[in-house]
Structure formats: C-alpha cells, structure tokens
Amino acid sequence: MAHSAGYGDLFYLAPMAYGMARGLSRFLDLPQRLPRWHRALNYIWVPAAVLIVISLAFSFKSPILGDVYWLLVLFALLGVLLALRHYRPARTLLFATAPFVVYKVLEIIIEDSNGKIPKSFDAFLDTTQGFVIIWLITFIFIARSQKKQLEKERVLREEEEKAKRLIEAQNVELERLVAERTAALTHQAQELSGALVELRTTQAQLVQSEKMASLGELTAGIAHEIQNPLNFVNNFADVSAELITELEEEQLKPDRDLELEAELLADLKQNLLKISQHGGRAASIVRGMLEHSRTSSGERTPTDINQLADEYLRLAYHGLRAKDKTFNATLKPDFDPALPPVEAIAQDLGRVLLNLLSNAFYAVRQRQMRGGEAGYAPTVGISTRRVGDKVEIRVRDNGQGIPEAVRAKIFQPFFTTKPTGEGTGLGLSLSYDIVTQGHGGTLSVTSQEGSFTEFLISLPINQAG
C-alpha cells in the first residue's frame, strides 16, 4: 500500500490541482455562475508554492505537507460544489466527491509519522479506494449526462421563446393592420350607406343589387388586407423549414454533436411546418367568415320560397361557371305551384340555399373531374313541397356522396371534407343555425357514398302562429 502524498509530491500536485480546477470551472460554467470562485481557483497552485518555499527556507521536509495541500484542494472543490448545489450536475459531483474526500481524510489519519500506511490496513484501504474511484467515475459520467440534458432543455426553451416572440410580434402587427383597415372601411361604409339611401327612393331593386355588389367589394378588400400578414406567417414558416435543411447539412461537420442537433432540428422543423399549416388554415377560415359576414334586418316577411330557390339555383350554377367555363350540369327545379308564402328572413334563407347548392355543384364537379365513369351527367335538383303546416325544401345532387362516418359531424363548426384551402367548415354550421335557431326549422342530410346527397330543410309556414 503506497503512502499518502509527501513533500516531494507538491511539485506534481500543484499542476494536477490546477488542471482539476480548470476542468471543474469549464464543466460548471463558473465564469458565468460563480465568477469569484473562478478567479480564486486560478490561484489554487499558490498554496503549494508557498509550502515549497517554506520547506526549502526552513529545511522542513515532511509527508504532511503534501497531505495538507491535497486536503486544501479537495475542500476548495467541495466548497465550489456546495455553492452551486442548486445546479443538478454540481449536486451530482458533490455526491460523487464526498466518499473520496472521506477516504483521503481516513488515509491521512491512519498513516504514521513517516507518511506510510500500516500493512494491517492495506486490504481495507485498497478495497475502499477501488470503491470510491468507481463511485467517483460513475457519478462524473452521470453529471456529464445531466449537463447535456440541461443544455438540450435550455436550447429548446430558447427556441420556443424565440418562436413565441415572433408570433406575438406578428399578432401585434396583424391587429394594427386590422384596426387601420376597419377604420377605413367604416368610413367607406358610411359613405356607401348615404348613397344607398338616395338610390332606394327611386330604384329599390337596383339599390339592393348595388348594395350586395358594394359589400362584396368591401369584403374582398378586407380579405386582401388580412391575407397579407397571414402570408407573412406562412412565408416565415417555409423559410424556416429551408433553414433547417441547411442546418442539417451543417451537422455533418465532425466537430458537432450530431445526436443532439439532429433531435433539436427535427423538433424545430416539425413546429415550423405546423405554423405554415395553421397559417394557411387561418387564412381559409377568414375567407369563409367574410363570405358569411353580410348582415340582414332580422325581420321576417312573407317570402316566395319557389322564387327564392330558383334565383339561388341559377346564382350558384353561374357562380361556379364563372370560375370554370368548361363546367356544365343539368338543373332540375321542381317547385310546388300551390306553395304558400313562408314567414322568413329572405336574405338569411338565401344564404342557406346558396351554400347548399354551391356544395352540390362542387360535389358533382369533383365526381366529373375524377373521371372513369362513362355516361356520367352532373345533375343538381331543388324541389319544394308543403307537408301539413310546414314547407320542405330538398337540395339533391348525384355527386360523390358523404361517408357515414362524416355525416355525424357534417354540421359541426370548422369541419369540412374539402381539401385545405377550398373549405372552411363554416357554411353548413351557419346554415344549420339559420334554419334551426333563426327560423325554428330543421336541417338534415341523407346520402349514399358514390351515388347522391340530399339536404332537407323543413320550415314552419307561419312563424308567428
């Protein structure tokens, strides 16, 4: 059993202690966490130099000098670990170092005046030394793993905070643009209202058509202005995804931590792609909301359902034809000539019919574009019938049909079967509310996948009664 460090060992203990101090300082980031301790550890070799000078000056040679210095170093390192006990890797190192310090103290106590260990303690100290060394090495690796994990969490938090700040900045800018545009549109709406009042006295029908056209232009202006900041969010997400690809190429360099960077980059790329997807979704919802933003007087008046249905059948058909000149479909109106007027809000009910008919034309067009069906003729029909004290309006198409699993959710807000960018899932939800809450009626759907879809509107004839 070798004896503890003696006087001659001071010459190599000092550099060893300095190296340990520097390594601990780097591992625990002492320049940032404990700058005073960092500066003090830079002079940990000074006590050894002082002891050497004293021993040379007074010709004092004793093994206890090395032991004293070694204990001083160990307790200094323990002091650093205690000062950083709130930091998990420091606590682990403290737990790892404590048995080693106890062992060294015990060794110094057991050794004789010549710095040698009695042979009777050799076996015990050899076993203890092996244990504390294994213990120390094990927990050093654990502390290293903990530091990597904490660093990974820190980087992830920084990235999340950065993304959060960017989103908040875009939200502030979006709110500012919306406020500015709203003020401008309010002024324009006031001017249009004055013009419409003058026209209403001589040309009531022309005033109504002009009002709808003007409001349509305003709606398009609102959508255009809101779309710009939303496009910025989407573009930022796409650019960020490209930057991630470049960073993935950068991680191939030999001096990078490939495992850590690959995991972080994969998470960030996924988050940015979600920003892009939801940005596109938000833009689509805004468009859908604006399409349904027209207000009505809210007053029920006797309404010719046959005339209303025929008007919106033509409007929906020609609206789709305006987008696709090549599209043609067979129209099948079937109206009950004895149908009495129905107490209804004509504008709101027209919105419902326009939505159902537009969906019907969309369905038959999709089936036609899919191809592969010889002799297929796109057909949309609308019929009216009186059933007791109610009026039934049926909108039927021979499109692709609606799967059974989808029909249960068809009237839920924001649920749509259309591809991203083509539907918001607001139309049927608003239509359902207008029919059921606004008119006290019912709206239901029947469908056979690959064959047809039929929506049934049932309205009481006399709302007041």
Residue range 48-79, pLDDT digits in tens: 777 777 776 666 666 667 777 777 888 888 88
Q: How far apart are CA 84 and CA 100, in angstroms?
A: 19
Percent of the chain with pLDDT over 90: 14
Per-residue pLDDT at 10 exceeds 60: yes
| pLDDT at residue 442, rounded to an integer | 93
Of residues 407 and 270, more confidently modeled: 407
Per-residue pLDDT band for 118 (boundaries 50, 70, 90) equals: low
User: What tens digit of pLDDT does each residue of 271-306 get?
Assistant: 677 677 667 656 654 544 444 454 555 678 888 999
Pairing of strands 442-448, 452-460: antiparallel
| pLDDT at residue 239, rounded to an integer | 59
| pLDDT at residue 201, rounded to an integer | 67
| Closest residue by Cα to residue 93 from 33, 136, 151, 44 | 136
| pLDDT at residue 73, rounded to an integer | 81
Per-residue pLDDT at 142 exceeds 90: no
Intra-chain end-to-end CA distance of the chain, in Å? 109
Among the ranges given (89-98, 123-132, 169-178, 345-354), the one the predictor scored with the smallest mean pLDDT: 123-132
| pLDDT at residue 400, rounded to an integer | 87
363: which 2 tokens? 């369905």
Across residues 11-25, what is the average pLDDT?
A: 78
| pLDDT at residue 186, rounded to an integer | 84
User: What tens digit of pLDDT does each residue of 33-44 get?
Assistant: 888 887 888 778
Per-residue pLDDT at 260 exceeds 80: no
Can you give the three-state secondary structure of the chain, one letter per residue?
A: CCCCCCHHHHHHHHHHHHHHHHHHHHHCCHHHHCHHHHHHHCCCCHHHHHHHHHHHHCCCCCCHHHHHHHHHHHHHHHHHHHHCCCCHHHHHHHHHHHHHHHHHHHHHHHCCCCCCCCHHHHHHHHHHHHHHHHHHHHHHHHHHHHHHHHHHHHHHHHHHHHHHHHHHHHHHHHHHHHHHHHHHHHHHHHHHHHHHHHHHCCCHHHHHHHHHHHHHHHHHHHHHHHHHHHHHHHHHHHHHHHHHHHHHHHCCCCCCCHHHHHHHHHHHHHHHHHHHHHHHHHHHHHHHHHHCCCCCCCCCEEECHHHHHHHHHHHHHHHHHHHCCCCCCEEEEECCCCCCCEEECHHHHHHHHHHHHHHHHHHHHHHHHHCCCCCCCCEEEEEEEEECCEEEEEEEECCCCCCHHHHCCCCCCCCCCCCCCCCCCCHHHHHHHHHHHHHCCEEEEEEECCCEEEEEEEEECCCCC
| pLDDT at residue 5, rounded to an integer | 42
User: What tens digit of pLDDT does each residue of 320-356 get?
Assistant: 887 788 888 999 999 999 999 998 888 888 889 988 9
Among the ranges given (71-75, 148-152, 282-286, 363-367), the one the predictor scored with the smallest mean pLDDT: 282-286
87: which 2 tokens? 């930091």
Residue ranges per domain, the chain? 7-117, 155-291, 301-460
Across residues 391-413, what is the average pLDDT?
A: 87
Range of 234-243, 247-256, 291-300, 433-442 with top mean pLDDT: 433-442
Per-residue pLDDT band for 385 (boundaries 50, 70, 90) equals: very high
| pLDDT at residue 380, rounded to an integer | 95
DSSP run (H or E) holding 332? strand 330-334
Report the mean per-residue pLDDT for the chain.
Answer: 76
Of residues 119 and 442, more confidently modeled: 442
- The radius of gyration of the chain from alpha carbons, rounded to an integer in Å, stands at 41
Of residues 90 and 214, more confidently modeled: 90
326: which 2 tokens? 């090549």
| pLDDT at residue 383, rounded to an integer | 95
401: which 2 tokens? 């049909």
| pLDDT at residue 384, rounded to an integer | 95
- Asked whether 292 and 358 are in contact (CB, 8 A), the reply is no
| pLDDT at residue 111, rounded to an integer | 65
Per-residue pLDDT band for 220 (boundaries 50, 70, 90) equals: very low
DSSP run (H or E) holding 329? none
DSSP structure class, residue 117? -
Of residues 308 and 130, more confidently modeled: 308
Query: Where does 301-460 sit in CATH, by number?
Result: 3.30.565.10
Per-residue pLDDT at 148 exceeds 80: yes
264: which 2 tokens? 């972080």
| Closest residue by Cα to residue 287 from 337, 233, 335, 224 | 224
